[in-house]
Amino acid sequence: MPDDKKNRIQDMLTSAAGIAEPPERSRKYRNIVGILAQQAAQSADSWCLDEALKTAELVTEDASKAYVEIIRAMAKIGVNRKDEAMLREAVKITELVDNDLDLSVALHENVLALAKLGIDKKDEKMFSYSLELIERIPLNTYRSSAFRNISRLLAGTDPKKAMELLETAIELIERSKDIKPVYLISAFCDIAALLSKLNDKRNYGFLSRTTALADDIADDFEKSAVLLKIVEIEIAIGTERHDEGLLKEASIISEGITKEYYKTLALKAVRTLSKED
């Protein structure tokens, strides 16, 4: 990092140290960690990563979120540099995370990085370790997501293994309780897309479940957001499978989106589809 930017970070740290109230001081330190971690991820700058770790130690309230930012950066650097040691160090840092949600996010990042690197390097031991690590993710929604993402990585090269992992992901999400409809819809869209890639016609069943769930969402913003997600997935699958009925359904669903931002994106997607025809 250039000296002028280092000086700016130092000024921010000095400013944070002068804040009397612990919650506000911690918030400022967390922001600094986020800036340093993001810079480290973009440039693989070891100074930024070291400073992020040092600064995280100064956070006295909700430090877990600071460590999640660091772990996310280390995961990206580890994959880009093909550095297994860094990825394993990131796993150790998860021990500093003290709540299920942040731990689930952190381990999810580690799992995907280790799986990707294991696949890229054809390292079965590293890949197996990534699958073992999934069992330490506390929340089923994130465990299911990890299995789905690894399934996606393997779909083109090892469809049998990809399907095996996807079945585990489906089982986890099906037995989970009290998942908000918006998250369940996102998971079902993801599952439908993967099933389509793996030539499994159960994808249509999951798409039907997404639309049924969306019907029961009362909040207009949430409903518009999930309907856009469904439209995008149906267009992707319909295009891939040359399914005119699904493409038509996507167009009809787009008409039910009420919030302008999401409606604009949906109409753009539908119009792009029309131009391709």
Q: What mean pLDDT comes out for the span 183-203?
A: 96
- Mean pLDDT of all residues belonging to the chain: 94
Q: What mean pLDDT comes out for the span 98-105?
A: 96
Does residue 5 register a pLDDT over 90?
no
- From the list 250, 228, 256, the residue with the least C-alpha distance to 238 is 250
Does residue 224 register a pLDDT over 90?
yes
Write down the pLDDT at residue 4.
81
Say what the pTM is: 0.91
Percentage above 90 pLDDT, the chain: 92
Percentage above 70 pLDDT, the chain: 98
Write down the pLDDT at residue 177.
84
- What token pair was written down for 26? 């911690």
Does residue 277 register a pLDDT over 60?
no
What's the pLDDT band for 276 if we cut at 50, 70, 90? Answer: low
Residues 268 and 261: their CA atoms lie apart, in Å, by 11
**Ranges of each domain in the chain:** 180-277
How does pLDDT run across 110-168, given as a tens digit for each residue? 999 999 999 999 999 999 999 999 999 999 999 999 999 999 999 999 999 999 999 99
Residues 92 and 85: their CA atoms lie apart, in Å, by 11
- HEC secondary structure over the chain: CCHHHHHHHHHHHHHHHCCCCHHHHHHHHHHHHHHHHHHHHHHCCHHHHHHHHHHHCCCCCCCHHHHHHHHHHHHHHHHHCCCHHHHHHHHHHHHHCCCHHHHHHHHHHHHHHHHHHHHHCCCHHHHHHHHHHHCCCCCHHHHHHHHHHHHHHHCCCCHHHHHHHHHHHHHHHHHCCCCCHHHHHHHHHHHHHHHHHCCCCCHHHHHHHHHHHHHCCCCHHHHHHHHHHHHHHHHHHHHHHCCHHHHHHHHHHHCCCCCHHHHHHHHHHHHHHHHHC
Q: What mean pLDDT comes out for the span 11-24?
A: 94
How does pLDDT run across 231-275, given as a tens digit for each residue? 999 999 999 999 999 999 999 999 999 999 999 999 999 887 766
